[in-house]
């Protein structure tokens, strides 16, 4: 079973706003009212969409895991649309056997120059996963995308998620204001802060440690060699002493034989 990845280009405007508008037109005012009620119900149950990055270091490549274990009240989930913050220009979605995935692109009002010197005129604004079969409420699933984090540390990256179900939807897009606790929000957007870049020079430290180890090993080897030489000199001394004793015994034996003959 394969996962199909499609690309959709938006020539202007916010792709997320366009998607919301289209759904509102399809479902009507009654569905819009239901969305609000379902959002409150989901928040009351603390059923949030969470994001877990495998790296938060500035400038690093990070695999983001979005997990959820709920629908809209009891309605199964049919689609998860993840919006990318303006600081991120591209994303690579991970294939999932139970979902189709779409990369939504939007044209930039003005060209943007990247850190590597290249200039882009469009960016990936949204990753949309559509369930091949509705995911039942109470069943956990996780969707992953890989992104390049911005080089500036301290920034908070927010990824609004629009969760659509067979009945209703929940827009996880609220952002805490200054001094406000995100836990007080009804439908908080998944987010995390970019931390300091990883320190360079770990390899150099390892190399220096390796050199020190080699020097120590060399010194130990030299000391061991000296010990072996001392042992060789001691052995030669014992051999010489043994030879002297044998000579002495031979002389005594000869003297005894000579005296025996005279008698």
Instruction: Classify residue 206: in a domain, yes or no.
Output: no
Instruction: Classify residue 245: in a domain, yes or no.
Output: no
Both tokens of residue 151?
């080089």
Instruction: Classify residue 87: in a domain, yes or no.
Output: yes
Q: Are 4 and 100 in contact (CB under 8 A)?
A: yes
- Nearest CA-CA partner of 139 in 96, 77, 79, 97: 77
- Specify the number of domains making up the chain: 1
Cα separation, 191 vs 63, in Å, equals: 14
Instruction: Classify residue 236: in a domain, yes or no.
Output: no
Cα separation, 83 vs 104, in Å, equals: 9
Q: What is the DSSP string of 183-232?
A: GG-SSBPPEEE-BPPPPS-HHHHHHHHHHHHHHHHHHHHHHHHHHHHHHH
CA distances in angstroms from 69 to 81, 136, 141, 153, listed in the order given? 16, 9, 6, 31
The DSSP code for 177 is P
What is the domain range of residue 10?
A: 5-193
Q: List all residues 6 or more positions away from 169 whose beta carbon is below 8 Å from its beta carbon.
A: 23, 35, 38, 72, 162, 163
The count of residues in the chain is: 263
Chain-centroid distance, C-alpha 143: 15
pLDDT of res. 114: 87
What are the pLDDT tens digits along the chain (263 aa)?
555 566 666 543 455 555 555 444 433 433 343 334 334 343 334 468 999 999 999 999 999 999 999 999 899 999 999 999 999 999 999 999 999 999 999 999 999 998 888 999 999 999 999 999 999 999 999 999 999 999 999 999 999 999 999 999 999 999 989 888 888 899 999 999 999 998 765 444 444 444 444 444 444 444 444 444 444 445 555 555 555 556 555 555 554 454 554 44
CATH of the domain at 24: 2.60.40.2230
Instruction: Classify residue 56: in a domain, yes or no.
Output: yes
Instruction: Classify residue 27: in a domain, yes or no.
Output: yes
Cα separation, 73 vs 96, in Å, equals: 24
- Count CA atoms closer than 13 A to 86's CA, side-chain side: 5
Both tokens of residue 160?
């609004």
pLDDT of res. 93: 98
Cα separation, 35 vs 51, in Å, equals: 22
The DSSP code for 59 is T
Q: Are 148 and 87 in contact (CB under 8 A)?
A: no
Both tokens of residue 229?
């030489």
- Nearest CA-CA partner of 135 in 168, 99, 103, 162: 99
Q: Are 172 and 120 in contact (CB under 8 A)?
A: no
Cross-strand partners of 3: none
Instruction: Classify residue 71: in a domain, yes or no.
Output: yes
Instruction: Classify residue 13: in a domain, yes or no.
Output: yes
3-state secondary structure of 233: helix
């Amino acid at each position: 079973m394969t996962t199909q990845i499609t690309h959709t280009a938006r020539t202007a405007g916010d792709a997320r706003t366009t998607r919301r508008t289209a759904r509102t037109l399809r479902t009507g005012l009654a569905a819009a009212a239901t969305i609000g009620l379902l959002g409150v119900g989901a928040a009351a149950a603390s059923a949030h969409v969470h994001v877990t990055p495998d790296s938060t270091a500035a400038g690093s490549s990070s695999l983001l895991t979005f997990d959820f274990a709920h629908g809209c009240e009891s309605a199964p989930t049919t689609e998860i649309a993840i919006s990318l913050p303006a600081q991120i220009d591209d994303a690579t979605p991970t294939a999932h056997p139970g979902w189709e995935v779409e990369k939504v692109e939007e044209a930039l009002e003005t060209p943007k120059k990247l850190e590597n010197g290249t200039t882009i005129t469009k960016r990936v604004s949204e990753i949309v996963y559509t369930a091949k079969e509705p995911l039942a409420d109470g069943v956990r699933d996780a969707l992953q995308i890989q992104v390049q984090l911005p080089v500036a540390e301290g920034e908070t990256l927010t990824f609004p998620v629009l969760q659509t179900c067979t009945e209703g939807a929940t827009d996880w897009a609220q952002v805490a204001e200054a001094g406000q606790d995100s836990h007080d929000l009804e439908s908080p957007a998944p987010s995390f802060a970019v931390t300091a870049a990883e320190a360079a020079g770990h390899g150099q430290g390892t190399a220096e440690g390796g050199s020190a180890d080699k020097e120590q090993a060399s010194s130990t080897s030299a000391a061991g060699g000296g010990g072996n030489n001392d042992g060789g000199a001691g052995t030669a001394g014992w051999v010489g002493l043994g030879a002297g004793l044998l000579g002495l015994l031979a002389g005594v034996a000869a003297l005894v034989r000579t005296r025996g003959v005279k008698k």
